[in-house]
Every structure is written in structure tokens, then in C-alpha cells.
Structure 1
């Protein structure tokens, strides 16, 4: 089991290390980090989300208990992380990134391989639904909060109007909505179009993780350990426990779906929080980059316990 987990985590470390090398030796130029980050948030992440949703079987969306457990566990963890950092004097934008670091799981790049190798091919449907919920619901909350924080100085009404306009034009939200419509109408997604979308979608994790490595290589002030430690505790401990609590309290769902809800919550922090961190400033970028890297490291141990608990 340990080798399965390490096998899924090594590519994450490898891409971060590659980015670090590129940044350390200036192989991609001084704007490489900014360009990669924009490429992910404007193109590859929305395409990945659209393709994941559009290719789903509409019947997989008929698992309300599982969907509530996934979203409830994530948003409850987000709220705790946000409230803690806001209470300690951080800005709304910074607290938003802290909440995302604590609740947004790396389901596609780490979660799916581990699920397939430990529980078999039947995990594809519940993991796909979980990926949909994190991308289309949880990340959308982060986008909305990011826009509201960015427009805070305009006054409450004007800020909400500007944030709503920005969210409505956000590529991720637009393509998520289109993906749901595509799925419900059972429209085909094949041929050259699907090949193009698949190629772009597969670039999301490599580009985001490489961008994190480049950022880590940049000159920096010393990172504050307190916020990072809080994010790690919330992500690897509180998030799966809250999700398990929702699973136990809600009406019964298929056992495998319940296990996948908890297992995906226990995954390390996804790089998507880093995509939004640039708007919140240097502190948020430091927090996100180190949380992604350290949660991935610590997950090599915590996931063994989670998988044993779930009966893998």
C-alpha cells in the first residue's frame, strides 16, 4: 500500500522539483511563473472541468447524499480555515486562500490513481463526481470570495456587483455550466475536438505544479510556520473527519461512494489554490505553495492510515 501511495505522489514532487530547477537557473525567463499561472486559470483548468463533467453519465449525478457530504465537508473546512485566519488579522483575500488550501483536494493527479489501485475501476464514477464538485462548487466559492476581496474598496453594493460581473465572465464557471448542460443533454464528445480538449486538460497539473516550483525558487522572505501548520492540520485531519461525519449523518449511499468521499477529502492540497493566490499577494502565495508541497509529503503517511480505516 505504501508503494502505491508513493507511486502516485512521486510525479507531484518531480514536477515541483522541475519547476524549482527552471526557476533556480532561469531557464524559462523572468515571466515564466506568471504566464504558466495564467495559462492554467484561463485555459487548462476550465477545459479540464468541462471535459470531466461533459463525459459523465447523468445518472452519476443522482447521488445527493454523497454530493452533500463532499461539498459539506469541504465548505465546513473552508469556513474554519477562513475564520481562523480572518480572526488573526489577515485580509479577506488571504483568508480565502487559507480556506482553499485546507479544503481543496488533489483528486485528479493523486486521488484517482490511488483510488483505482486500491479499490478498483468502479471508483472512476464517484471520483469523477468528487472532482466535479471540487472544481465546479468549492473552487467557484473561492473565485467568488477572491473577486469580492479584490473589489472590497468599492463599497458593499458596488463590490458585489463587480464581483458578480467578474464571476459571470470567469472561464471556469462558464465551462462548468456548459459541461453540466452537455452532460444532461447526453451530447457526444468524440473525435478531434475531444483529443484537443484532452490534451489541454492533461496540461493542468503539470503546469500548475511547475509554477509552484518556479515560485519556490524565487527570492523570498522566510515563510511563517503557523499558518502553514494550521492549513496542514485542517487539510489532512479535519477535512476527512468532517466529510466522514456528513457521510454518517446523511441517508445511506453506496458504500464505495461513501469511501471515495472520505478518501478524496484526505488527499493533499490541490494546486488550484495557488492559481488564485496571486490576487491575494505574497503571503497567500507562500501559504499555498508550501501547503501543497508539505501536505503532499505528509500524505504519504496519513493516507496509509485512512486506507486502512476504509478497508482497502
Structure 2
């Protein structure tokens, strides 16, 4: 766990602080953060998602049907719970609720999945299985749902009127961050292998994803400042306590193997997906609260991670 803190979480803080300082000292103007976000959302992130998903294979997805069903149903159900409750409790618009769900209801599995699980559980098949399944659900299911809800709520069309359901769906599918992971899933299900010779091209572009996304989050923090209120606390609770708690109970009741259950719980307890922050900043929806929720959740994960690993071990012992 100490290695995870040093090698995974501290670099996030360092890069985010650098972005924050650059924004505060006006090295970059607030509007320039949009350029970084566009680079990540339209190019680097789709490349990273595509490259990570196509590494899976069809056998991995069907090797553990229980794990796949728990991940799919659980992540989508909790995503929609975040979407509905934030409108009920905090009177947010549908567009704001969609972005909130992309943040509070989605773990950053593509960025931190292997980095957190490998040091604890090794690089075996089970680790790859958990990361691949959770990554596919987050990137190929919940992100498209979130963008659809964002467009349907009038948040993705430059403040214009709300779109019809069909128009919102079409607009969501046009986004590279949506169609790239969906294409990757289709290729995996069809058993089509992407030639290894193209990996370096995807990898070079994908490497910009994490660092630029975190730096841009720091710039956004500098423009909006961190706020600590009931809504940020609720989002942090939802991400770090409710989500892993639900998965722990459901996974235990469904008889998941102890190690697989530990990895699944830790995966969904990861801090919010940076893709949600990027989408928030691009469309200028839920930016201040979303960025504050990310910052607080990253800090909280340092405490939550070892607690959930211990509880998962204890409940299956």
C-alpha cells in the first residue's frame, strides 16, 4: 500500500499542484485549459481507451460471467443513482447531474487500474480480467450514457435548447471518447486482434492522456478554487464509501473469489475518472463542484483504499 501511495497517488498530487500553480501565476490563462481538455478528450483519451480495451480478449470477458454481470449492472445502477440523487437532493439540472455521475459514479480505472492493483496482486490473469471488465463498462457504457444525458439535458450544445433523444444519442456517438471504446469492444467480441505493430502509435498518443488531464484539472482548480460543502462531501461519500460498499456486499453474496472481490472493490473505490472532469471543463458544466469532488476524493482514497482491502479480506475469510 505504501508503494501505491508513492508511485501512484503522489504523482497525481504533484502534477495537479503544478497545474494549479501555473494557473495561479497566470502562466496559462483559464481558457487555455480548454485546449488541453480538447487534446485529451478528442485524441489522447480515446487512444488510451482503445489501446487498453483491445488488449483484452473474448475469453477474458466470458471467463467469469458473474464478475462481468456484477460490474455491468452495478456500475450502471450506481451511475444512474448518482444522476438521480444529485437532482433530488441538490436541485441540479439534468446536464449537471449527468456530469456529476461521470465524476462521482465512475472510477478512474483506465489510469490507475493496473498501477494500483499490480503492486498488490501481481500481473496475473485475474488482475487483467478485473481491470479489463471494469474499464470496458466505464468507458464503453457509462461514458456514452453520460454524454447522451448531457446532450439531452442541453449541456452539450453550447447552451442551446435541449435536443431530442435521437439527436442527443447521435451527438454522443460522434464523440471520439465514445465511439473509440465501443469500436474496441466490438473488435474484442468478434475476436479481431489489432496488429501489434500499431501499438506504439497508440501508446505515444495515449501517454499524453494522464499527465495532461491531471495538469488541466489543476488549471481548472486555479480558476474555480476548491470548495468544501455538502455536495462535495456527498460526491466523495458516494465515490469512496457507497460504491465500494455495494460491490463488496453484492460480490460476497454472489460468491466471488476472495482475491477477485478485493480487486473489484478496490477498482470501484478508485478516485473519479478524469474523463468526467475533462467533459465538465469542455462543456463548462458542473466545473467548480466536479473539480473539488475530484481533489477531495483523491485525498480520501489514501485512507479508503487500505480500509476496503482489509474489509474485503475479512468478509471472505
Structure 1 length normalisation: TM-score? Answer: 0.89
Unaligned runs of 5+ in 1: none
1:169 equivalent in structure 2: 174
1:276 equivalent in structure 2: 279
- Residue 117 of structure 2 corresponds to residue 112 of structure 1: no
**Could you list the per-position Cα deviations for residues 26-83 of structure 1 after superposition, in whole angstroms to 9, with x for gaps in the alignment?**
3244532000111111111111111112121221111322122223322232233222
CA distance in 2, matches of 1:179, 1:99: 23
Shift of residue 280, structure 1, vs aligned partner: 5.7
Q: Per chain length, whose mean CA-contact separation is higher, i.e. which structure has more relative contact order (CA < 8 Å, sep 6+)?
A: 1
CA distance in 2, matches of 1:27, 1:278: 19
CA distance in 2, matches of 1:189, 1:290: 41
Cα root mean square deviation, aligned: 2.3
Unaligned runs of 5+ in 2: none
Task: Note closer, same or farther for the CA distance 1:125–1:142 as it changes in structure 2 (3 Å cut).
Answer: same
- Residue 190 of structure 2 corresponds to residue 190 of structure 1: no
1:235 equivalent in structure 2: 239
1:38 equivalent in structure 2: 38
Pick from 242, 248, 260 the counterpart of residue 257 of structure 1.
260
Shift of residue 264, structure 1, vs aligned partner: 0.4
CA contact under 8 A between 1:94 and 1:281: conserved in structure 2?
Answer: no
2:289 equivalent in structure 1: 287
2:76 equivalent in structure 1: 75
CA distance in 2, matches of 1:310, 1:77: 19
CA distance in 1, matches of 2:49, 2:129: 15
2:130 equivalent in structure 1: 126
CA distance in 1, matches of 2:65, 2:181: 19
CA distance in 2, matches of 1:231, 1:280: 20
Question: How does 1:10-159 map onto structure 2 within 5 Å?
Answer: 10-62=10-62, 63-87=64-88, 88-122=90-124, 123-150=127-154, 154=161, 159=164
Shift of residue 105, structure 1, vs aligned partner: 0.8
CA contact under 8 A between 1:93 and 1:279: conserved in structure 2?
Answer: no
CA distance in 2, matches of 1:248, 1:262: 10
- Residue 200 of structure 2 corresponds to residue 199 of structure 1: no
CA distance in 2, matches of 1:8, 1:295: 14
CA distance in 2, matches of 1:266, 1:112: 14
SS in 2 for 1:203: helix
**Could you list the per-position Cα deviations for residues 149-185 of structure 1 after superposition, in whole angstroms to 9, with x for gaps in the alignment?**
1269756xx5212202202312122212221233233
Shift of residue 101, structure 1, vs aligned partner: 2.0
SS in 2 for 1:263: helix
Shift of residue 235, structure 1, vs aligned partner: 0.4
CA contact under 8 A between 1:115 and 1:260: conserved in structure 2?
Answer: yes
- Following TM superposition, where does structure 1 have runs of at least 4 consecutive aligned residues deviating by more than 4 angstroms? 151-155, 252-255
CA contact under 8 A between 1:45 and 1:204: conserved in structure 2?
Answer: yes
CA distance in 2, matches of 1:30, 1:302: 32
CA distance in 1, matches of 2:149, 2:213: 21
- Residue 249 of structure 2 corresponds to residue 248 of structure 1: no
User: What is the aligned length?
Assistant: 306
Shift of residue 111, structure 1, vs aligned partner: 3.1
